[in-house]
Amino acid sequence: QVDAVVYLVDAADRERFNETKQELDSLLSAEALFGVPFLVLGNKIDIASALSEHELRYYLGLEYYTTGKGNVDLSHNGMRPLEIFMCSVVRKMGYGDGFRWMSQYIK
Ligand SMILES: Nc1nc2c(ncn2[C@@H]2O[C@H](COP(=O)(O)OP(=O)(O)OP(=O)(O)O)[C@@H](O)[C@H]2O)c(=O)[nH]1
C-alpha cells in the first residue's frame, strides 16, 4: 500500500523535462496509485537558471491538476491531492511546506 508519492524534479535540468514528464505521467496513470496524493518537489531553486513554479507546472502539464496549497478538503470531489512546491535540498528550504501539505491527506 502506498500512502503518498513524493516526486523530486531537478528544476535546473532543462534537458530532461520531457523524460521527467513521461515518468510522472506514467505514475499518475498507474492503477495501483489511483487517488494517492502526489507531492511534486521542484528542487535546486538555488541555481539561477532553475525553472519557476509556474514554468514547472506548465512543463509538467499540471496546470489543471494541482489542487491547492491550503487546507483544501478534497474528500467530496474525488480529486487526487497534487501540488508543486519549489525547494532547495542543499539550502534546506521549501520541502517542509510540501511535506506539511502532504501530511493532511495521509490517512
Ligand atoms: N545546487 C543544488 N544541488 C543539489 C541540490 N540537491 C541536490 N543537489 C546536488 O545534486 C547532486 C546529485 O545530482 P543529481 O544529478 O541531481 O542526482 P540524480 O538524480 O541522482 O542523478 P541524475 O539522474 O543523473 O540526474 C549532488 O551533488 C547534490 O549535492 C540543490 O537543492 N541545489
What is the predicted pLDDT for the residue at 22? 97
Between 70 and 107, name the one with better pLDDT. Answer: 70
User: Binding site membership for GTP: which residues?
Assistant: 43-46, 89-90
Q: Which residues contact 63 (CB under 8 A, 6 or more apart)?
A: 57
DSSP assigned state of 93 = B
Tens digits of residue pLDDT in 76-102: 888 999 999 999 999 999 999 999 999
Q: Which residues contact 88 (CB under 8 A, 6 or more apart)?
A: 43, 44, 45, 46, 94
pLDDT at 16 exceeding the cut of 90:
yes
CA of 104 to the centre of ligand 1 (A): 28
Tell me which residues have their CB closer than 6 angstroms to ligand 1: 10, 43-44, 46-47, 88-90
What is the predicted pLDDT for the residue at 41? 98
3-state secondary structure of 10: strand
Nearest residue (by CA) to ligand 1, atom 14, is 10
What is the predicted pLDDT for the residue at 77? 87
* Cβ atoms of 45 and 11 closer than 8 Å: yes
Give me the residue spans of the domains in the chain. 5-103
* Cβ atoms of 51 and 42 closer than 8 Å: yes
Tens digits of residue pLDDT in 18-75: 999 999 999 999 999 999 999 999 999 999 999 999 999 999 999 999 999 988 999 8
Q: Which CATH architecture has domain 5-103?
A: 3-Layer(aba) Sandwich (3.40)
What is the predicted pLDDT for the residue at 50? 97
